[in-house]
Structures are given as C-alpha cells and as structure tokens.
Amino acid sequence: MSLEELLFRDEIAREALGAGEIDRLLATVDRRLEDASLASLHPETRLEQAYHAILGCAVIGLRAHGLRAVDRPGHHVVALESLADTVGVKPDRIDYFQTLRDLRNKDIYTGSSHVSDTQALEAVEEARRLVAEIKDWLRKRKTRS
C-alpha cells in the first residue's frame, strides 16, 4: 500500500520532524543491533532485538518523510509495509520482516515460539544490512538537500 493510501486510511499521519530526532532513533537502532549481536543471548531474544532494529529503521524511514504510524493495532505491520515506499525495500524482504514480526509476537503472546540459532543469525544479518542501508539513504538525502 502506498504512503498516500496509508494516509488516506489514517494508518499514518503527518508530523513534523523534531530536532535531533533521527539521531536519537538511530542510536536506539544501533543499540538494538548491538544487543542482537550478543552470542550469549537466547536465539529468541536475539531475533526480537534484530526485529526491533528493523522496525526502528521503518520508523526512521517514515519520520524522515515527516510521517508517523498511527498508534493502533497493526501499526507494526504498517510501519514495515511503508519501507517499500520510504526507502525502496523490495517486497520479498518486507515479507521476511513480517515473518519475524509473527515469530516475535508468538514468543511474547504464547511463549511457544521456537527460534533456532540459524534463524537468529539470519535475522541479525538482515537487520545489520537494513541498518547500513538506512544510514546510507539518510546520508544521500542529506547530501541532496
């Protein structure tokens, strides 16, 4: 769904970007990524931290456009979906991020999720890749403006 459609459906709203806001959000994303990289943590925890780093990137993409996901059920889905239009992330990667969201929710709400080391490592790598892309994207936007 495009940003215009999301705005029309009140899934996202316009909100002016505050001073230093992107830097604060980036610091949070870096912290999540750092935690996700800790091999001593359980794979479920690593996946959750990687997911939060990815979600943080989606929030940054929206905020950089002066937008914010409206706080209501499904706002994580919306934020992840918006990555296609804000940063140009391909649909198959967004599907993967949504799968991480499902796994993270299952762990939180049912306690019956099982995440292997393979899945946790992949999530960390994918999060690291997206964080690097977001930083590069922000740099390019800054250069252009």
Partner 1 sequence: MPTTSLTEALFPRSRSAVLSALTTAGDEGLHLREVARRTGLNSKTVMRELHALRDAGILVSRDVGRQVVYRMNPDCPIVDELRSIIRKTVGLAGVLQAALEPFAERIVQAYVYGSHARGEERVDSDVDLMMVGPVSLRELSSSLREAGRSLRRTISPTLYTAEAYKKELKARDSFVSRVHHGPRLDLVGGA
Tokens of 27: 């610091």
92 binds partner 1 (CB under 8 A): yes
2 binds partner 1 (CB under 8 A): no
136 binds partner 1 (CB under 8 A): no
Min dist CB 40 to partner 1, Å, is 18
Residue numbers 113-132 binding partner 1 by CB under 8 A: 113-119, 122, 126
60 vs 97 by CB, closer to partner 1:
97
2 vs 116 by CB, closer to partner 1:
116
64 vs 79 by CB, closer to partner 1:
79
22 vs 54 by CB, closer to partner 1:
54
Integer Cα distance of 34 and 128 in angstroms: 10
Could you tell me what percentage of the chain is helix, strand and coil, using 3-state DSSP and rounding each to the nearest 5? 70, 5, 25
Helical residues (DSSP H) of 66-116, grouped into ranges: 75-86, 91-110
Give the list of residues 6+ apart from residue 11 with CB closer than 8 angstroms, or none: 1, 69, 70, 74, 75, 78
Integer Cα distance of 61 and 40 in angstroms: 31
Min dist CB 140 to partner 1, Å, is 24
Residues that bind partner 1 (CB under 8 A): 91-93, 95-96, 98-99, 102-103, 106, 112-119, 122, 126
